[in-house]
Chain A
Amino acid sequence: MTTSSPYIGASVKRLEDRRFLTGTGRYIDDVKLPDMAVMAIYRSPHAHARINSIDLAAARAVPGVIDAFCAADIDMDLPVIPLRLAPFDGFERFLQRPIAQDKVRFVGEPVAVVIASDRYIAEDALDLIEVDFAPLPAVTSVDQAASGETLIHEDAGENMGTRYTVGRGDTDDAFSDAPYTRRERFTTNRHGAVPMETRGLIAEFDPDAPLLRLYGATKVNFFNRRHLAAAFDLPEEAVELIETDVGGGFGARGELYPEDYLVPIASRRNGRPVKWIEDRRENLTATNHSRDIVCDLEIATSNDGKILGMRATVQGDMGAYVRTNGGVVASKAAQFLPGPYRVPSFSCDVQFLITNKTPVGTFRGPGRFEANFCRERLLDMVAADLNIDPAELRLRNLMEPAELPYRIGELVPGDVNATFDRGNYPSALNQLLDEVGYADWKDRQGEIIDGRAHGLGIACFIESSAAGPPETARVTVAPDGNIEIRTGASSVGQGTETGLAQICADYLAIDIDRINVLHGSTTLVPTGGGTFHSRNTVMAGNAVRMAAEALRTRSIELAALRWNTDAGGLEYRDGAVHRGDDPGSILSLAELAAFARSRGPDEALAADAAFDNEGKLSYSYGAHAALVAVDVATGVIEVKKYVLTEEIGRALNPAMVQGQAVGGLVQGLGGTFLDHMIYDEDGQLLTGSFADYLLPTSTELPEITAIALEESPSEFNPMGFKGAGEGGIVAVAAAVGNAVVHALNAHGIQINDLPITPNRLRAALRATGT
């Protein structure tokens, strides 16, 4: 089918923005139900302790307190929070239940719950809860965890969540004969998504109906419904997950957490709706952390810098429990270590270590950000050692178009078919080099301008998108001719409504203002896949396309009935069906919708579709460059200019693609310089408020150029889309780290640890006598 496309590929203004900008969005805290009570949670102040006793009497006695309970008061088998992704054998020993029973294992773990008429009273009551803890030694590093001296889950007999080795080719062979090898240890800082809007939930639980309605859901609502239904012994259709507007997800929001069980339990116990809004202090300990890995990476090359092999050990700090994201972070770090390069042999020992910290999960570019930092820093060291220009070294090793598609091997257990799809990696790097003026800069590394040392760093990346189950869409024409799209995909604020409306408007050849998009809630469509892994445009976008195409067909069928003619002589165009043998005869979508309804109560002008890419992932790739100025005497770094290229197959909405790239990049600058969950040796989180947990703000932004490339459309969906949500973040630490090292090339320092801070940089420089 051909169609004109005034919307697809255009920077259509976001349909969502009117309500966001006028303060009429409906976030979870805007939802107020009659007779609603609020919930607050007593969280463990200890990283590791046995619970001897819990006394809730004083809390219950506070006027305005409706209920208080702990694990012992809950009259159901406490479910475990399920593994949704990367569910490796062994993890089943480390799953979390919604509330602590005999032990607490991280600061912030729920211990008791108060239900009250308002949050102030609830917090007054929390202050009166008395828990007798017997503190235990805290495990706060992967080395300490590996030693097994202190066991966090005694029944497991170890702190190793699981451990495996993956690889391809023969690394022993490659390294034994290699003329050049180098080994380095890298660490990436524990930090997290920290969305502007914290999590929040409202449960309405009527066990007699039965009905559990949970507001504040997002991301993977159908998966979550299935598991909540099982946990509460309800049929799936008795559980409704309702999506509201969302102020940022970035991977962390919308997973099943303890609160997704505790809020329904509270509602059921009290026979009234219960709301819980995560405050910022809770958010920093209760919502998944991420990124926390230690990576020993070794590389072997020929004398001219051709990579012969890489071998690595990746140790992921999992925190105290394995949550829904399973082993994604460390396993994806391992899988993406070789990156877009020709690496004939690779092996990696991957270890998942349990510690007394907040559990980890995914955060925008999980594993990729970490892997890119380690590999791209090491490549710059190789380039320096072998006296090869860093860009030249990369061009020598990037896979060429003729080498693609490339089966990367089983680098995550069970993922035997992972295949880089077609692309042109050198082209993405070369365009970056042109844009940033690399030829001018490569001989000016370390130049002092206005008292500051300047350096330009580059990094290449590849990352996957659009994994997971099929996505669904239903397109319906209302009596007034307006269109409603319903999808199982969620919106976390990224512009899903606009993107899907663009596709639908083009395929139905109508004005976009006629389209309304409803998303996420389990009440809208029978099933859905959800929103993660940069998949909405690929998965929901193609589902909407298919539904719109089916709707055109359905329109023609209905018109044929209405006109009592052969469908073959009818044509759909400009939002209506036209009769070929009578050019004046037109049936609009509104007329066809009315006709459909006139045929019976169950008739409608509507079409359903599900798009399944059968697990064939599209890989976005590209390159980043950072120009930094370093004040050597104070260690203060300014990123003056940042350029990135990202091949995304096809840009549905270039302005939104740009927004994704810039937003990702800024978040990446946070992870590179600022964001850091710091624990002391007792397992106390020292960065528990925004006074100490530092996020980038508008005053920290460099000049940014983000170039979306559309040279290599995906083969795995007819619209050619690849994910565009994570390419902006994944190579930031790599490019910036390389830039800082180049700026300071006179001083011979290396950057192997994140974040890069003035304090750390000065310590490194001081060690060289600078």
Chain B
Amino acid sequence: MKPPKFDYFAPDSIESALTLIAEHGDDARYLAGGQSLVPMMNFRVAAPSALIDLNGIATLRGIKVDKNSRLHIGAMTRTREIEMDSTIASANPLLHAAAPHIAHIQIRNRGTIGGSLAHADPAAEMPGIVLACNAEINSIGPAGPRSIAAGDFFEGIYSTALQDGEMITEIVFPPWPAARCWAFQEISRREGDFAMIGIAAWFDLNETGEISAASLTAIGAGDTPLRLPAAEEILSGQPPGDVLFAEAAQAAVNELDPGSDLHASAEYRREVGGVLVERALKTALQREAPGYTA
């Protein structure tokens, strides 16, 4: 479990990182927190000729809310910083709540949001949360900077819209209404393991108490994190309640088409996906109305 030989560079600016990746060609890789790439190198599943380490680029880190209430998180911001950040607790409580589910503290101390998105494990939390929140993923590459909608970013297992030499620079989350109802639920074999199935849910209520916008996202249910449009559609425009939530859960079961692996069958994922949708929606509503009991 030792990697083959590789070159290592530690640039201190985005510009020099781009220059280095251009010089070292297709076999060079950016190194973020290294929590997935380095084990893959040790197993010799990945064998980059060069690592361009982004950890020394200060402009890639940081958490801020802009004047339009959008949350900006630098790609190299550690998961643990996101978990502990009080700004994020209010600026995107869903993200804040999902962060502790990501592996263990030691890994969160090192792993980054950008690294997780670029790695694109379909059972990972960060990809699911950016998709759930309609976040934008800002990147820069040989062709210059661009912004990629989360919905366009994930293309398959470990596969994204990032082109050769392109790196994520920051993730921008739309404003989070203070009254938004939300919940994150996942089932894993052990605390910190990848989700066998997980659900991120939020909805907004209009002045007459109907659901004006809803988002349901599943992780661990396919090749990428997945929105559940049929279930979202059922919620849309309706007053929240147990019957509606059960219908949404059934719609989720119907539209989920997960695979099987060592830890859970497709049937388990589909069935429990529905259970988690229903629980997440109930939990979300409870946040809005503390007196609510399911």
Contacts and interface: CB of A to CB of B under 8 A. Distances in A.
Contacts of B189: 674, 694, 757-758
B43 A634 contact: no
Contacts of A678: 262
Given A123-B44, A697-B190, A634 B275 contact: yes
Contacts of B1: 123, 279-281
Interface in A746-770: 757-759, 762-763, 766
Contacts of A168: none
Interface string A267-305: 000000000000111000000000000000000000000
Contact of A633 (B43, B191, B264, B275): B275
Contacts of A147: none
Contacts of B190: 674, 694, 696-697, 699-700
B2 A759 contact: no
B268 interface: yes
A633 B264 CA distance: 14
Contacts of B191: 697, 699-700
A279 B3 CA distance: 13
B271 interface: yes
B265 A763 contact: yes
A699 B4 CA distance: 35
Contact of A120 (B5, B262, B275): B5
Given A120-B5, A633-B272, A694-B190, A759 B264 contact: yes
B2 A634 contact: no
Q: Is the interface of B mostly helix, strand, loop or mixed?
A: loop
Interface string A531-542: 000000000000
A561 interface: no
Nearest to A687: B262
Contacts of A699: 190-192
Interface in A108-126: 119-120, 123-124
Nearest to A122: B2
B65 interface: no
A697 B105 CA distance: 13
B4 A686 contact: no
A636 interface: yes
B196 interface: yes
A281 to B, nearest CB: 6
Given A694-B193, A699-B190, A759 B268 contact: yes
Contacts of A757: 189, 263
A121 to B, nearest CB: 9
Contacts of A759: 196, 263-265, 268
A759 B187 CA distance: 11
A692 interface: yes
B267 interface: yes
Interface in B194-232: 196
B44 A127 contact: yes
A689 interface: yes
Interface string B28-60: 000000000000000110000000000000000
A766 B192 contact: no
Interface string A376-415: 0000000000000000000000000000000000000000
Nearest to B265: A759
A279 B265 CA distance: 30
B187 A766 contact: no
A694 B192 CA distance: 11
Nearest to B3: A120
B234 to A, nearest CB: 20
Contacts of A124: 4-5
A692 B187 CA distance: 15
A700 B192 CA distance: 11
A674 B263 CA distance: 10
Contacts of B44: 123, 127
Contacts of B267: 763, 766
Contacts of B192: 697, 699
A686 B262 CA distance: 8
Interface string B72-95: 000000000000000000000000
Contacts of B5: 120, 124
Given A123-B2, A758-B187, A634 B272 contact: yes
Contact of A636 (B187, B262, B263): B187
Interface in A409-424: none
A399 B271 CA distance: 47
A281 B43 contact: yes
A699 B106 CA distance: 14
B273 to A, nearest CB: 10
Given A280-B1, A694-B193, A634 B187 contact: yes
A635 B196 CA distance: 12
Interface string A507-528: 0000000000000000000000
A633 B272 CA distance: 7
Interface string B4-19: 1100000000000000
Nearest to A695: B190
Interface in A631-664: 633-636
Nearest to A699: B191
B276 to A, nearest CB: 8
A648 B56 CA distance: 58
Interface string A122-138: 01100100000000000
Contact of B268 (A119, A120, A692, A758): A758
A700 B188 CA distance: 12
Contacts of A281: 1, 43
A120 B3 CA distance: 7
B187 A762 contact: no
Contacts of A692: 262-263
A634 B280 CA distance: 14
Contacts of B275: 633-634
Residue picked from A127, A674, A762, A763, most chain B C-beta under 10 Å: A762
A634 B271 CA distance: 8
Nearest to A697: B190
B236 to A, nearest CB: 26
Interface in A688-705: 689, 692, 694, 696-697, 699-700
A636 B4 CA distance: 41
A758 B193 contact: no
Contacts of B263: 692, 757, 759
A127 B272 CA distance: 42
B2 A120 contact: yes
A124 B3 CA distance: 8
A686 B189 CA distance: 16
A762 B268 contact: yes
A555 to B, nearest CB: 53
Contacts of B271: 762, 766
Contacts of A633: 272, 275
B38 to A, nearest CB: 13
A120 B47 CA distance: 13
Interface string A667-699: 000000010001000000011010010101101
B288 to A, nearest CB: 21
Nearest to A123: B2
B4 A762 contact: no
Contacts of A687: 262
A127 B193 CA distance: 31
A365 B193 CA distance: 28
Residue picked from B4, B5, B43, B268, most chain A C-beta under 10 Å: B268
A35 B5 CA distance: 23
Contacts of A689: 43
7 contacts: A123-B1, A280-B1, A633-B275, A686-B262, A694-B189, A700-B191, A762-B268
Given A674-B189, A687-B262, A692-B263, 19 more contacts: A120-B5, A123-B44, A124-B4, A127-B44, A279-B1, A634-B276, A635-B272, A689-B43, A692-B262, A694-B193, A696-B190, A697-B190, A697-B192, A699-B192, A700-B191, A758-B264, A759-B263, A759-B265, A759-B268
| 8 A-B pairs with least C-beta separation | A699-B191, A279-B1, A633-B275, A120-B2, A759-B264, A759-B268, A123-B2, A634-B272
